[in-house]
Chains A and B, each alone.
Chain A
């Protein structure tokens, strides 16, 4: 994946977090590695985020990936999408 491609994926992820993560701060100002739960994402909001990511990238997270550590940051979500071979181009 090119540098450009990664940036695009991160931007798309951030946009989806922005719409569904219900963070008290603007996710677009956070680092890739910033802890979204510490930033105020609730468990309930994280489920909505997962659903939105599944729809946007046309993937299904297997049960083994449905855990806190996978959705902890933009970087960890991006890695998970990469592992699933998401249509990230």
Chain B
């Protein structure tokens, strides 16, 4: 085993410890009170997990992508909201690492993230775009003293109140077309956030994602050199779908584990009786294995697509369809598994205060089909299928 792999094993062991010892005991209160999972986030910061994907030469952990995906799975098993905050941060960092194009400001910024373990949130959705992150209304606007400004109305900003910095998509300039987008990275001190709504949702309650009007003033060097459409196709979309799917799989796996624990407990009590729940558990296992297979094959497809040729590959329609299908399949299958777990456990699964409760799992995974609405993805796929050949 090489040193790098040993480091990865240690990284995952630390993540598992945080998941078991910190995320798990707080998961119910995070959910009940719709509060930010501050204990998990502090522990992740402490173990320097927020710079995991940053290369070592910039002070980061240099942890391979598939290990970070496994970390999303492990956190998801214990607290969906903690896993989602972790995943979203890693998505933003991955986009910057892959698309900074040697820009000195962004290299220094990544060094700061590694040193200070800064947490990055994204502002990609916008009022008036119908949920299409490929279009923006707000624009980078030239202002006084050579600085630029923007004002963006975002219907949701996950953990916006707790983030150190924001990753915001905008039109390149006041005259740019809606699809001519760039990414701007702004620090807390360059920002004001005006909350525009409340946050009392059905699931993923700890992500604390109300709407905001975001305003910022910043120098031009904080515009990511690579245009957003390319960042989205080569990185943000496939990486989001992969990391989200891993944490949804984590949540579904824990729901399955609870159902299995329920069946074992009842079989131990009455070893001679038939166990109808055991049959339901067996059906549930095949549902879970479908989800697991889709998530792991998608991860393999992504890690195979490395280097310049791999990046090119990611922008082909066949590959766009592939990762869109991952999102649709995983977001539909995860709540299906959680609901199956509830039917195995019966009333003790339905109640919120038993060792077999799966209500939180079900509610958390029901957010999956809304995070980039599946219907919108189907619309895109329907159009791509008219022209793509080998799918």
Contacts and interface: CB of A to CB of B under 8 A. Distances in A.
A15 interface: no
Given A37-B179, A39-B177, A40-B177, A66 B316 contact: yes
Nearest to A43: B134
A4 interface: no
Contacts of B230: 68
Given A47-B384, A68-B315, A69-B315, A63 B229 contact: no
A64 B312 CA distance: 9
A63 B177 contact: no
7 contacts: A37-B180, A42-B179, A47-B384, A51-B387, A66-B387, A66-B388, A67-B316
Contacts of A47: 383-384, 386-387
B233 interface: yes
Nearest to B317: A66
B318 A40 contact: no
Interface in A12-34: 24
A38 interface: yes
Contacts of A51: 386-387
B229 A37 contact: yes
Nearest to B318: A63
Contacts of A69: 315
Given A47-B383, A47-B384, A62-B389, A67 B177 contact: no
Contact of A63 (B176, B180, B316): B316
Contacts of B388: 63, 66
A38 B390 contact: no
Contacts of A43: 134, 179, 380, 383
Interface residues of B, number: 23
Given A44-B383, A66-B387, A24 B177 contact: yes
Contacts of B317: 63, 66-67
Interface string B359-391: 000000000000000000000100110111110
Given A24-B177, A38-B172, A67-B317, 8 more contacts: A38-B176, A38-B177, A51-B387, A63-B318, A66-B318, A66-B387, A67-B315, A68-B230
B356 to A, nearest CB: 45
Interface in B119-144: 134
Given A43-B380, A47-B384, A68 B229 contact: yes
Contacts of B177: 24, 38-40
